[in-house]
Structures are given as C-alpha cells and as structure tokens.
Structure 1
Amino acid sequence: MSPTVTPFSELLRRRSRTGAGATAGASAWAGGAHDLLAGDCDVADYADLLGQYAVVYDALERAAERMADHPVAAPFVTTQLTRMPAIRADLEYLVGPDWSELCCPTAATTAYVRRLNEVAATSPGGFVAHHYTRYLGDLSGGPTLARLLEERFGFDTNGVLFTIFDQVADPAAFEDTYGAQLDAAPWTAAEREAVLAEVDLAARLDRALVASLRRPASPTAALGGAAHPLLA
C-alpha cells in the first residue's frame, strides 16, 4: 500500500493553527484585534491598530500588483480580497479624512513591512505565504470580529467595512478553490518548506505588531507624526 500524501494546503492549514503560526491563516488580523480588544481599550486603540494594518496591507497589495503576472503567484491575486479601500473608509470614519497624515508606524510595523518588501514583492512563495496569512484569516475571522466590534463599540457598517467581503459570495467555496491552487503550485519540497516557514514568520510579525500597541503611553501613541511614505 502506498503511503498517503497529505495535500500541501492541509499541511499549511495545520501549520497555521499550531505552534509558531497559531494566528496565521485562521485569522491573523482578527486575532490581533481580538487580543487588543480583550484588554482595556477604546475606539482610539482600535483605530491605532487599524492604522498600523493600513501600512501592512498597502505594502501587501502593492506586492500583489507586482506579482499579478507571475505564473506561480498570479492565481492567488484577485480584487475580491483587496482590503485597502475598506481600511481607508473605516479610518476616515474613525479618525477623519487626514488619517494617513496621522499614521506613524511602530517599529514592529516597520519590520513587518520591510519583510513584505523583501519577500512578498520578490518571491512567489513568500508572497503566497503572506497573502494566505492575511487574507484567508480576514475571510474566516471577519464575521466574528465584526460582531465583537458591534458589541463593544456599537459599530454597524461604518468602522467594520474591513471585515466585509461583499465580492466573495461563498467564503467556503473560495477557500476550497484557494486550497486547490496551493496544491497545484509547482513548488519543490524545499520551496514548500520555505512557504511554511514564512507563514510562521508572518504570524510572529503580526503578534509583534499587536504587542507594540498594548499599554501605549497615550491613546494616540500610534497615531501622530509624519505620513508613512507607503501611504502617500
């Protein structure tokens, strides 16, 4: 009897929900928001977190533009998942029209973006690792996060647009298709291990970003200063 071969998508799912990557692929962004909101935070703290993620998603979506024509990465690039328009709208509601001028990335956010620029914008495997970590997490964790924000702050649509994927009619079917694309990617065993390792790193970068916002010196510690060049 030949040994059973575990699909790569299943290996990635297992890795993302255990060990170092416990927040990845299940709900990285939503998990970070849950961590912050579980403490004594207010709307300004949530806006701080969203402002940091604006920098991260801007870098990731710029990487997606560069990877759109790559034969391996292209199947994963879709406007259905694009989050920056929703993030901008949420921050305009939470902070005001000048939110981008007030967004000052923490050192952890800067490190996260540096890694995205180094890997996600240049390597198809690195891009998919970060793409999977962020967007599949958003898709699965968004409804729970939306309910939490509604209960905590009374948000309905404004303030939680980020969690709404109105272009994905069937999230479960979308995730199945994504998994099939992962399994079909022509990676060697070594390349697959590199993707798994990058998912672990993406989770650590995300946790560091959230930790950098805990117990800030003031409610607006992360919203103040010059505009980040990625948001220009």
Structure 2
Amino acid sequence: MTVLDHTLVDTPLSTAMREGSMAEHEAAEHSSFMSELMGGKLNEQAYADYLLRFRAVYEALETALRSRLDDPLVAAMYDPALERLATIDADLDHWSPGGPRTIDTPAVAAYRERVTAATEWGGLLVAHHYTRYLGDLSGGQAIGRILERTYELDGAGIAFYDFTEIPKPKVYKDGYRARLDGLELSADEKGRVVGEVKVAFHLNQAVFVELGRDIDGYRR
C-alpha cells in the first residue's frame, strides 16, 4: 500500500476529492478563457460556444448516470434535480437562437468518451458527478451572477445556474458531501475516485484551452 493509500484510509472521500484535485481545479479555473469571460471581456458568442461544448459533456454524463442506476455508488449520488441538459438547451435558445445544438471537437470528444468509459465502475461516474454538479452549485453560482451583470441579462439565459429544486445550495452541498463520505470504498478505491476527479479537471481545462484558441475573435 502506498503512502497515499495509507492516508486515504481515514480521510473522508469528500475531503480526499477536494484536496487531491486542488491543483487541477485551480488550473482549470484560471484558464485565460475563463478569466476573460469572467472579466466581461468576451462577447456573447464566446459564452454560446462554451455552453455548446458543455452540452455534449452533460448529455454524456446524464445518459451514463441513468444507465448505471443499478450500481449502488451511482444510486447513492444520483438526483434528477441536478440535471442540467434541459437548462443548457433553454440558455442556448437565448444565446444562440436557431444555432447548432451539437458540436464535435477534439476536447469535447475526449471528455465525452471518458465519461462514457466511466460506466465501467460507479466510483468513476461519481467522480465526474462531483466535478460537474458540485462545481455548478459552488463557483457556478458566482459565474451566473457575473454573467447577469456583464451582459445585463435580467434573469434571461442563465437557467443553467438556477437549481429550482434546490433552494439552499449550501445545505444541499453539505448533504451531498455526507453522501460521498458514506460510500463504502477501500483506500484503493478512494484513490481511483480521486484520480478520476483529477482527470475530469484536466478534461475541463482542455475545453477551455480549445475555446481560448479563438479568444481574439471573442473579445468585445
């Protein structure tokens, strides 16, 4: 057993996931694309292209989760109130009316394929579930507020960040972490989950890098 495995024996899974992926999380968060988008420097097309890419990711994730509800790890974390595909479609109707709803780029394909492959074991799907949905309930809320101010949306086009069935995100997140910590996993299995969270953040960053290649054309 490695030093990491010894550490994970007594570490709550939610803590191991957060602390074990901190570097990857921060790298994705501070990509040039996200920094400029949050700084109000990019146009509406930039955000439409962002949504379009992540639509493919959420479609893959939500399909994968529903296909593995027989796995006790997935069943423990699954909650249809978290699903985002319909809200992304609603937002795309605002940002890109009549525009495409599918896209196939190298970064999107890699992310989608990894999520689909994660159906191999419920713990891997839990890692992607955590990376996306807990992020949406955390930093995602700040992103929604920034977008509303920057583009003077008056509530339009940001349904993605509105969890209508979760009125108190902090309370929900506390319960979510408790569910994670209640999953019966060995130290080695916790290590696999943490490793997949790190992969998920790398894939997330790759999408931002891909968007960043068009950043000059996106500037307002």
**Residues 58-107 of structure 1: CA distance to partner in whole angstroms, max 9, x if unpaired?**
0000011112222221011111101011000000111114432xx32321
Normalized per residue, the structure richer in helix is: 2
Paired letter, 1:182? L
2:183 to 182, 185, 189: 185
State yes or no: 1:78 paired with 2:79. Answer: yes
Partner of 1:115: 114
2:140 to 139, 142, 150: 142
Deviates further, 176-185 or 53-62: 176-185
Partner of 1:157: 155
Q: Distance in 1 between matches of 2:84 and 2:138?
A: 14
Unaligned ranges ≥5, structure 2: 1-6
1:175 to 173, 176, 182: 173
Q: Distance in 1 between matches of 2:214 and 2:33?
A: 15
- Sequence identity (%): 34
SS at match of 2:72: coil
Partner of 2:4: none
Partner of 1:229: none
- The 8 Å contact of residues 33 and 215 in structure 2, kept in 1 or not, is answered as no
Partner of 2:13: 8
**Residues 202-230 of structure 1: CA distance to partner in whole angstroms, max 9, x if unpaired?**
0000000011011428859xxxxxxxxxx
CA root-mean-square deviation: 2.5
Unaligned ranges ≥5, structure 1: 221-232
Q: Distance in 2 between matches of 1:183 and 1:22?
A: 23
Q: Distance in 2 between matches of 1:209 and 1:122?
A: 24
Paired letter, 2:129? H
Shift of 1:176: 1.5
Paired letter, 2:46? D
What's the TM-score, normalizing by structure 2?
0.86
Q: Distance in 2 between matches of 1:139 and 1:46?
A: 19
Shift of 1:12: 1.6
- The 8 Å contact of residues 126 and 193 in structure 2, kept in 1 or not, is answered as yes
2:193 to 189, 192, 195: 195
**Residues 17-72 of structure 1: CA distance to partner in whole angstroms, max 9, x if unpaired?**
x2223368xxx7x9897335047420001100100000000000001111222222
